Amino acid sequence: MSVLRLGVLVSGRGSNLQAIINEIEAGTLKAEIAVVISNKHGVPALDRAERHGLNAVFLDPKAVADTPDPRQTYDQILLETLQRHQVQLVVLAGYMKMITSILIDSYELRIMNIHPSLLPSFPGLHAQRQALHHGVKVAGCTVHFVTEGMDTGPIILQQAVPVEEGDTEEDLSERILKVEHDLFPRAIRLFAEGRLRVTGRTVRLSDA
């Protein structure tokens, strides 16, 4: 059986990318990273990809800024890049650009995102800050399929993380991030094993 080919989209630090690379290299995740694509130049995530001998591509949003619909044009190029590398599952690992229907329709239920809150609470930017401002006692993270809309797709896995007295945004983010690094590879593994069944908003896990 051929190994699942991942396309990982990044914009920054790349610690989730690193967690996925580590599991693949350790043999605990049966997948391969066909390409890593960034919308930001010179970010640590691209360095990590290169260090591990992966295809690392920077696609510059400015290159399409003069087209009638820059977001769609950008995603058309993104889509062609993913297809050229025969990507089967798109993984958004800290990708800070909204994706459009061009990508979502072509990779329906084959795009995953990780978000640092227990969705549907606190979608969008600064989820950990939103959680602290709201005074919640339990935070967490979510891996979900990407559909149109901000952080709204069917939920694959979630894990709770406690909020401690006196937590700063950095404290909470760090505690959540540790859990993300376990949760994201787990969700990808379930996909690779063909164990995710989606009905409407609900994702069920079938037996191995």
With CB under 6 A as the rule, give the number of residues binding ligand GRF: 13
Distances (CA, A) of 163 to 12, 143, 178: 25, 20, 14
190 SS3 class: helix
- Cα–chain-centroid distance for residue 165? 29
If the CB atoms of residues 116 and 153 are measured against ligand GRF, the closer one turns out to be: 116
Query: Which residue lies nearest ligand GRF, judged by its C-beta?
Result: 94
Q: Which stretch binds ligand GRF (CB under 6 A): 14-22, 28-36, 49-57, 67-75?
A: 14-22
Is 139 a residue that touches ligand GRF (CB under 6 A)?
A: no
Q: Which stretch binds ligand GRF (CB under 6 A): 13-21, 72-80, 187-195, 199-207?
A: 13-21
Largest CA distance in the chain: 50
Is 93 a residue that touches ligand GRF (CB under 6 A)?
A: yes
CB of 137 to ligand GRF, least distance (A): 20
Among candidate residues 41, 52, 85, 115, the one labeled active-site is 115
115 is catalytic: yes
Backbone angles phi, psi at 91, to 5 degrees: -115, 120
Is 23 a residue that touches ligand GRF (CB under 6 A)?
A: no
Distances (CA, A) of 111 to 15, 48, 81, 90, 191: 19, 22, 15, 5, 11
For ligand GRF, the binding residue among 13, 52, 129, 175 (CB under 6 A) is: 13
What residues contact residue 7 under an 8 Å CB cut-off, 6+ apart?
Answer: 33, 34, 35, 36, 37, 81, 82, 85, 87, 89, 90, 91
Is 12 a residue that touches ligand GRF (CB under 6 A)?
A: yes
Distances (CA, A) of 162 to 125, 134, 140, 156: 20, 14, 8, 20
CB of 39 to ligand GRF, least distance (A): 13
Do strands 89-92 and 4-10 pair parallel, antiparallel, or not at all (unpaired)? parallel
Q: Which stretch binds ligand GRF (CB under 6 A): 10-18, 29-37, 50-58, 191-199?
A: 10-18
Q: Which residues bind ligand GRF (CB under 6 A)?
A: 12-16, 45, 93-94, 114-116, 177, 180
Catalytic residues: 115
